[in-house]
Structure 1
Amino acid sequence: MVCWLVLVTLMLMFDVHRAQECEEMTDLDLKHSLSGTSLNVRLLLYTRVNVSCAQLLSHREPFRNPRFNLSSPSTFLIHGYRPTGSPPVWLTQFVQLLLQRRDMNVIVVDWNRGATNINYWKVVDNTRKVAANLTDLIQKMKEKGADLGSIHMIGVSLGAHISGFTGANFNGSIGRITALDPAGPEFNGQPPSERLDPSDAQFVEALHTDMDALGYRDVLGHIDYYANGGADQPGCPRTIFSGSQYFKCDHQRSVFLYMSSVNSSCPITAYPCDSYTLFQDGECMDCGRFTPDGCPVFGYDAVRWKDRLLQLIQTRTYFQTNKASPFCKFGYKVDIVTWNQKTHWGYLTIKLSDGQEEAQVELNHKSLMFERFVESSVLAQFDRDVQPVKEISLKFCTGKGLRPRKKLRLLRIRLTPLQNHLRPLCRYDLLLEENKEVTFRPIPCEDSNF
C-alpha cells in the first residue's frame, strides 16, 4: 500500500512537472493595452512530438532544445496587432493543421508584449525590432547548416511586414512568405524598403480580405489573392452595432481562409484577372492560358505554380467564398444568347438541382445586357457542388416593378463547369417571363457558335 502511494505521488509530480514545461502564448488584457507594453519576443516551438505542448526556444542557444530539428523545414507563425492583449483564437488550430500536413518545426512568434498597446504607431515601430530578433535566430540556423529555402514565414497583418523585414535581411533567400491581410495603416503608399515586397523571399504570396480598412490595398507579392474582391467578406457584419466583429471579421477572415487551404479538402481556384468586375463578368475563366496546369489553387499548395509566377511581374487573382467553412464555391461560366428584337437589361437567378439538393445564386452584381444574337457572359458561383445536375431553374427580373413585365427569349443558355472537368450544360429556345421561375432539364450542348 505504501509503495502504491509513493508511485501515485511520483506520477502526479511528473504530470505537474510536464504541465509546467508546456509554454503558452502571453495572455494580456485591455489594461495592459491602455498602459502600454514593452517588447518581449518569445519563441514557442511545436513539433509532431509536442503538438499541444509548446517548448520555449532560447534565443541564445536554440539548438539545445532536442525537439528543434535543423534538418526539418521550419514555419514561423507571426501574429499582428493585439489591441485587447488576448492570444489569437485561431492559434492552436493553425499549429495543428500545419503539423498534420507536414513534419516540421512550427515556431510561434509571441510578441504580444509589444503588440498590445493602444498606441498603434508604437506597435508599428516594434515590427522592426521583432524582425531583428528573428534575423538573429535565423542567422544562427544558417550558421548551423539550415537551408534558408526551407523556411516559411506566415505573417498576419503586421506579422506580414515583420516577415518582409526579416526576409530582406537575408536578401530574399528565405523560401516563402505568406502575408495574411497585410496591415495597411502606416504601410499603404510606402516604398518597398518600408514594407513587404516580392524581393523579400523566393516566393511571396499575399491574401487581401479587408483592403478598405485594416488591410493593404495594392499588390505585395508574386501572387496576390483578393477574396470576394478583397474588402467585404460574406457573413461579416456590415454595421458598427455588431460590436467588435464589425472591426475584425473581414481582417481575421484571411487566417481562416488560409487555414482551410492547409487542410486542402475543399480547394479554391484563384483566377488571374485585372479587376474584380471582370472576374464577376466571367472574363477571366480561361485558365489554360495561364499554365498547362491551369489557374493556381489559392493558399498552401500555390507553391506548385511558383515557377510560372516568378516569370511574371506580379499576379493579381480573385475568387469568391462562402461565409463559413467549407469556404470553396463551385463555379460555372454562364453564356446566354437572346433573340429579342429589342435590347433588355436585367438580373438572373439560377438554381441547380440533383433531385434532392439545390444550390442557388443571384447574379445581381450588375444589370446584364441582353442584345439580339450577342452572347452575354457572367460568372455564377454556387455554395455547393450539386451533381449530377438534373434540373435547372431560371428567373429573370429587371428590378423595375412599375413597368410592364418583360419577356426574355433565349436562343441558348450554356453553363460550363469550372471544376471537375465536367461537360457543359445547355438549353435552347426558352422563354422567360419576368419574375416567373422556369424549370427545365439540361441537355448536351451542340457544337454551335452563336
Structure 2
Amino acid sequence: MLCRSSRCCWLLATVLASFVVCKAQPCENITDLDLKHSIIGSTLQVRLLLYTRVNATCGHLLDSENPFSEPLLNVTRPTIFIIHGYRPTGSPPIWMNWVVEAILARKDVNAIVVDWNRGATNINYLKVVENTRRVAVNLTHFIQKLQDEGVSLSSIHMIGVSLGAHIAGFTGANFNSNIGRITALDPAGPSFTGKLPEDRLDKTDAQFVDVLHTDMDSLGFRKPLGHIDFYANGGADQPGCPKTIFSGSKYFKCDHQRSVFLFLYSLNNTCPITAYPCSSYSDFLDGKCLNCTQFGSAGCPVFGYDVIRWKDSLVKMDQAMTYFTTNKETPFCKTGYKVDILTWNSEARWGYISITLRKGDQETTAEIDHKSYKFEQYTENSLLAQFDRDVQPAEKITLKYRTGNVFGPRYKLRVLRIRLTPLPLEHKLRPLCRYDLLLLENKEVTFRPIPCEWSNF
C-alpha cells in the first residue's frame, strides 16, 4: 500500500494528476530575455500562464480568445492574476514561482501569471510605461471572455508589483470598480507620481484595494492609493537592505523588492504582522497609535493576504494609512509592547531607553531611540518597544537609560512604575510591571517583572 492516510493519498493523487496533465501538455514559463533585448527593446507580447493545484509547478499557456479550451480553468474557483513589473535586464522574476505555490497552498484558485516580459524589458523605461496601458487592454479583453462563461468579477483578485500595480488599476477601472480586489505591492512612482487617479492606480479601481509601500523615496509611490495603505518600516528604507551604491544592483532593487517578500510571507500565515492606523510613522514609533477601536472586536488589521477580513470597515473609512516594522529577514514579524514609564525626577531628564527580555537562554532587545524622550516628574511616557522575536513570558527584564552625552555628567532616572503591555492591545494580555527603580545612565538594571495591579491598567 502506497499511503496509509487520507492526506497522503490526496497528495499522491495530486502528484499523479499533475504528472498526467503535464505529460499531455508542455510546461510554460515566463519569457526569459537578457540585456541585449533591453538595449534593442522588446515588442510587447502578453502571455497568460495558468497554475492550479493540479499543475502547481507546470504553467499552461491560455488562449486569450478561447480560455476555456484549457480544461483546468474552472469557473467555480476564484481567479488570481499575478502581474510583474519593469524588467530592465530581461530576466524572469525570481519570486514568481514562490508566490504561485504559496497562493495555491493557501487556497484552491486559478492562479494566472501575466507574462509581459516582452514589453517590460527595455532600457527605455518610458516605453515600458506606455506598454502598461496595452497590457491592461489585453487583460480586459481576457476577463470579458471569462465573464461570458459566468465568472463573477467579484471573485477576481489582481496582485500587481510595481508597474504591475498600475496595470491592475487600469484593468479594474475598465470594469467600473467591480473587480473584487487589487493588491498593489510597492506601486511604481516614476512617471506616476502627481498623475490624476485615472492615470494611475486608485482605490476606485476595485471593490477593495490594499497597497504596500516599501521604497517610496525611490522606485515606489509615496502617497496613499488604496482603501488601506501599509507603510512597512515607514515605507522607505527596509532593514537589511544596502545603504550605499557600492552594493551594486541590490542597492537599487532591495527596498522595492521587499514588498513581494513581505506579501509572500503573509501567505504562510505563521506569524501575522499587525498594522496600526496612524497619521505618521513618527507618531507610530512614539506609541501614539496602538488602539484600533474603530475596528471594534476585529482589532487592528493584519498586513497582507488576510487583510480582506477588514474589508467592510476599511471601505467605509475615507482612508487608512497604517504602519508596522519588520525584521531584516524571515520571520519578518516583530513582537511589540506598549511601555508606560512614570518618573519622579525633580528635574526633567532627556534620553533613550533600551529593554531586554529574557526567558531561559533566550533574549531579545528593543532600542527605543528614534528620538530623545523627555521624562518629567509624575508624568507618564508611553513608548513603543519592538523586539526581533517573541520571548514570552519574560522571566527577567533589563533596562538601560542613556542620554547620548559623551562629556556631560551622568544622570539618574527615577522610575515610579514601568508597565509593559503586550501588543496588540485587543488581546488583553495582562501587563508586566515593576515599581521604584533607579536607573543610572549607561548602567543596566535587571529585575523580575510582576503582574501589574489591576488598578493600574
Q: Determine the structure 2 residue equivalent to 1:139.
A: 144
Superposed, 1:25-424 pairs within 5 Å as 25-419=30-424, 421-424=428-431
Contact 2:52 2:108 in 1 (8 A): yes
Q: Distance in 1 between matches of 2:395 and 2:81?
A: 48
| Equivalence for 2:13 | none
Distance in 1 between residues matched to 2:170 and 2:21, nearest whole Å: 40
Alpha-carbon distance between aligned partners in 2 of 1:295 and 1:236, rounded to the nearest angstrom = 28
The answer to whether the 8 A contact 2:25-2:60 is kept is no
- Counterpart for residue 435 of structure 1: 442
Per the TM alignment, residue 408 of structure 1 is displaced from its structure 2 partner at its CA by: 0.4
Q: What is the identity percentage for the equivalent residue pairs of Structure 1 and Structure 2? A: 67
Aligned length: 437
Answer whether contact 2:240 2:328 (CA < 8 A) is retained. yes
Query: 2:84, 2:162 within 8 Å by CA — same for their partners in 1?
Result: yes
Cα deviation 1:226-276 (Å, max 9, x = unaligned): 000000000001000011110000000000000111111110001011100
AA in 2 matched with 1:435? N
Looking at structure 1, the residues matched to 220 and 144 of structure 2 have their Cα atoms a distance apart, in angstroms, of 30
- Give the C-alpha shift of residue 290 in structure 1: 3.0
Partners of 2:178 and 2:417 in 1: CA distance: 53
- Structure 1 residue 20, shift from structure 2 partner: 6.8
The residue aligned with 1:4 is: none
In 2: Cα distance, 1:135 partner to 1:50 partner: 25
Aligned position for 1:426? 433
Conserved 8 A contact 1:329-1:381: yes
TM normalised by structure 1 equals 0.95
Q: Is the Cα contact below 8 Å between 2:439 and 2:445 reproduced in 1?
A: yes
Which segments of 5 or more consecutive residues in structure 1 lack a partner in the other structure?
Answer: 1-13
Match of 2:15 in 1: none
Q: Give the superposition deviation at 1:314.
A: 1.2
Q: CA deviation at 1:443?
A: 1.0
Could you tell me how far 1:18 is from its partner in structure 2?
3.1
- In the alignment, the residues of structure 2 paired with residue 118 and residue 326 of structure 1 have an alpha-carbon distance, to the nearest angstrom, of 35
2:235 is paired with a residue whose SS is: coil
Following superposition, the deviation at residue 352 of structure 1 comes to 0.2
CA contact (8 A) 1:291 1:308 kept: no
In structure 2, C-alpha distance between the alignment counterparts of 1:82 and 1:124, rounded to whole Å: 12
2:21–2:55 contact (8 Å) kept in structure 1: no
Identify if the C-alpha distance between structure 1 residues 24 and 170 changes in structure 2 by more than 3 Å, giving closer, same or farther. Answer: same
Pair 19,236 (structure 1): closer, same or farther in 2 beyond 3 Å? farther
Q: Structure 2: which amino acid aligns with 1:440?
A: F
Distance 1:181 1:48 in 2: 28
Contact 1:209 1:227 in 2 (8 A): yes
CA distance in 2, matches of 1:204, 1:16: 35
Alpha-carbon contact 1:355-1:391 (below 8 Å) kept: no
CA distance in 1 between counterparts of 2:21 and 2:70 reads 20
What is the aligned partner in structure 2 of residue 8 from structure 1? none
User: Secondary structure at the residue paired with 2:126?
Assistant: helix
Q: Distance in 2 between matches of 1:397 and 1:19?
A: 68
Counterpart-to-counterpart distance in 2, 1:115 and 1:426:
56
* 8 Å CA contact 1:185, 1:215 repeated in 2: yes
TM-score, normalization by structure 2: 0.94
